[in-house]
Amino acid sequence: MSLFNRRNVITALALTATLGACGFSPIYGTGTAASSLTGKIEVASGKGRENFVLRERLVERFGFNEHPKYKLNFTYDIDSTGLAISTTAEITRYNLVGTSAFKLTDTATGAVLISGTVKSSTAYSATSETFPTRTAEQDARSRIAVTLADQIVLRITSTAKQWVK
């Protein structure tokens, strides 16, 4: 039993040494470029329920802008396609693909610091009843918006070291 525990300790130490040697460092560590973005990004508003969910998730992750140095603009688009069709020719499952293009600019200079497009997909089941189907669709759309927001945050924070002043 003690040999097993020693192997775990040795493996953990070896992994730690390997990660440190390759330049790995936590994104949100104290004093990192990504941690300095908290409260510094003003997130633009959009129209519609999904734009609201996406914006709120971005604000939740970046923090409320106390002294904005950067402005984040984004677009949100979603496509819905029937995924499964029953024997009675009714669509019973829908696939949603969400896309968001984003652009982070420096408010002082107007320079684009990072831009890109993120994509995510999910699905939901449809029933013969309108209310449960609509509720499932709204939930799926909200899930995509949150996923897209998290992807945007990851892209911005992972490149922050290159452009944060």
Q: Can you give the pLDDT at residue 158?
A: 84
Q: Read off the amino acid at residue 22.
A: C
Helix 130-163 to helix 49-62 angle, to the nearest 10 degrees? 40
User: What does residue 119 show for φ and ψ, rounded to 5 degrees?
Assistant: -140, 145
**SS3 per residue for the chain:** CHHHHHHHHHHHHHHHHHHHHCCCCCCCCCCCCCHHHCCCEEECCCCCHHHHHHHHHHHHHHCCCCCCCEEEEECCEEEEEEEEECCCCCEEEEEEEEEEEEEEEECCCCCEEEEEEEEEEEEEECCCCHHHHHHHHHHHHHHHHHHHHHHHHHHHHHHHHHHCC
pLDDT recorded at residue 101: 96
Confidence label for 139 from pLDDT (cuts 50, 70 and 90): very high
Q: How confident is the model at residue 59 (pLDDT cuts 50, 70, 90)?
A: very high
Write down the domain spans for the chain: 29-163
Tell me what pLDDT residue 102 has: 96
The whole-number pLDDT of residue 111 equals: 92
Q: What is the pLDDT of residue 46?
A: 83
The residue among 53 and 163 whose pLDDT is bigger is 53
- 13-50 pLDDT, tens digit per residue, is 666 666 655 565 655 555 555 666 777 889 998 888 99
State the architecture of 29-163 in CATH terms: 2-Layer Sandwich (3.30)
161 pLDDT band, cuts 50/70/90, is confident
pLDDT tens digits for 74-132?
Answer: 999 999 888 767 667 677 788 999 999 999 999 999 999 999 999 999 988 888 788 88
Which pLDDT score, from 0 to 100, does residue 87 have?
65
The span from the CA of 42 to the CA of 48, in Å, is: 19
**What is the pLDDT, as a whole number, of residue 121?**
93
Ranking 6-10, 14-18, 143-147 by mean pLDDT, the lowest is 14-18
d(CA 133, CA 121): 18
